[in-house]
A and B are shown apart, each in its own frame.
Chain A
Amino acid sequence: MNRGQLEKESERWVKDGVITSGQRVQILKRYEKKTGHPVLLTFAALFIGLGFLTFIASNWSALSDLVKMAIILFFLLVFYGTGAMLYQRRSKPVGLSFIIIALCVFGAGIFLTGQMYHFTSFSAFPFLIWSLAGFGLLLVFKESILFLATLVIVTAGQIYSGSTYQDFYIPLGLLFVAGLGWVLYKNGNRLLTGLFAISYVIQSMVFVFSYGWSYYWLILLFLALYIVSHLPYGQLHLKTFGSIAVLSIFTLNLFQVFLLGYESEDVEYSNFFFLAWSILFMYAVIQSAMESTKFNWIDLVLFIPVFRIGAGDLLSLLLMFAYSLGWLLAGYRKEQPEWVMKGTLAFLITTFVAYFQLAWAFMDRSIFFFTGGILLFILSYFLEKKRRQVKGGEPS
């Protein structure tokens, strides 16, 4: 009997009163875990696997279709089987990595089979099937790595759909929001939330650009992400959405500085956008007013659309400055080092961008860089001094 079996068995003995739990510990001590050579074994398995793979790959075109199918199915089932067994008996991480490999085999299998039998696809449907398989596994094991795998497949599928078919594939989008979103809401953590939000931002871009809409619809989608992160009854880990949303909208404003000019009044706009924006923005303002932290409205400044009024580049800069200064001042007042940090970073980037935008055309290149460097140096000196004061607890 090995230790694993003994552990299970002896639990029952204790329950039935055959031995005491102290005796159980003593018995178990006699069966110390075998150390073995897991590293060597892993490498052995890896090499044999690679040998198989290269052998098959080099002979792939010579094989008949049925043999190819048999090989794909064989690897699929073997990896799933081994993965499940290892997950149950030995080590969860190793088992999971086998299951992930099996999921990859399935994905490769879909495309190889499709190629073999001349299937034509008109959408990202293969990716939907693949991600559904990943999602099914996620429901079975409830492991973060499977969440990640499904997220990657969904995102890749959506990018593929956007680039190949100029289309946002709605079923994938639904799986993302309703399926992965639900799992995330129930039991996610900060890391997964962050990655989910990044995927959301990527998919938003696919969505907006594949329908040929103007970029400003992104403001609305980012605002929605921001609002979700601050919902009063939301889960704590969803707060990460807010940071990603702010980061995205900050980047968008940055692009506006360079891309919008005085002619920005020519940007086509839709009344529906302003209606939807007003509703969402009003709600966001009310939401932030009701929060215990009274300073979150500073984030909202960035979501103000400025492309319509003209001189959009300067206005975007103003928004970025307002955001940076807002957090700097709030940070000093409340003595919150993170806020000061956030404000400082945003302020530095904004200054840099402003300087680039305004002075690039007028100055000699080397003078431009010298002056900029010195300016930033002075700025960072003062900001750092202030930040230390806050960190040291001195009122500024």
Chain B
Amino acid sequence: MKWTLFYVVVSLQALFLIGMSASYYAMDRWGETIYLETEPIDPRDPFYGDYVTLRYDIESFPAELWQGSEDPERGDMVFVTVEEGEDGKYEVVQAAPASSATEEGQVELKAKYDWSDMSQNNLHVNIGLDRYFIEEDTGDSFEQVESRVVEIVVAPWGQKKITSID
């Protein structure tokens, strides 16, 4: 009895880690691909080790798109719904404090609320993909002076990852 429980506890731990890993690979199979444009970043120090820092256009949007009754607080979960624009890049349709049903062609992204820009009445969020790891010694060729298009896969269970950068 005691040892059965032990094996259960240990297998659950192993399964949890395997599940975390598997869900990442399963995104390729079941995820939806979207294209997001990045904001140009001051190239003074874009490299920190072996990754580049990315900021997306959709990470700031007008406060009118916020659906919640009260303002979010820093660190709150924000659900940003994006839709494909004319040029193939995705744009923010709405942002809400809770998950909602999306229409055809829309994708919901889970983000963390950062801050609001009072002067421009913009809300800033972080979708958690601000680091793109690149292979070592190729960093020189990656200059973040102009905006780029990032291909992202979003899984139905909310997970997302960067697949490539143009």
Residues of A within 8 A of B (CB): 61, 65-66, 69, 72-73, 76-77, 80, 84, 102, 106, 109-110, 113-114, 116-120, 122, 129, 133, 136-137, 139-141, 164-167
Contact = CB atoms under 8 A, between A and B. Distances in A.
Contacts of B165: none
A80 B20 contact: no
B75 A166 contact: yes
Nearest to A88: B3
B75 A165 contact: yes
Interface residues of B, number: 28
* The 5 nearest A-B residue pairs measured at CB: A120-B128, A136-B9, A117-B24, A140-B6, A113-B20
A167 B73 CA distance: 12
A131 to B, nearest CB: 12
B129 interface: yes
A145 to B, nearest CB: 16
B148 interface: no
B47 interface: no
Given A120-B112, A136-B12, A140-B2, A110 B77 contact: no
A122 B112 contact: yes
Contacts of B118: none
B77 A122 contact: yes
Interface in B1-31: 2-3, 5-6, 8-10, 12-14, 16-18, 20-21, 23-24
A146 to B, nearest CB: 11
6 contacts: A69-B18, A72-B17, A122-B75, A133-B12, A140-B2, A141-B6
B112 A80 contact: no
Given A84-B6, A117-B24, A120-B128, A129 B16 contact: yes
Contact of B14 (A77, A117, A165): A77
A80 B10 contact: yes
B16 to A, nearest CB: 6
B110 interface: yes
Contacts of A116: 21
B20 A117 contact: yes
B154 to A, nearest CB: 13
A348 B12 CA distance: 54
Nearest to A130: B13
Interface in B53-94: 75, 77
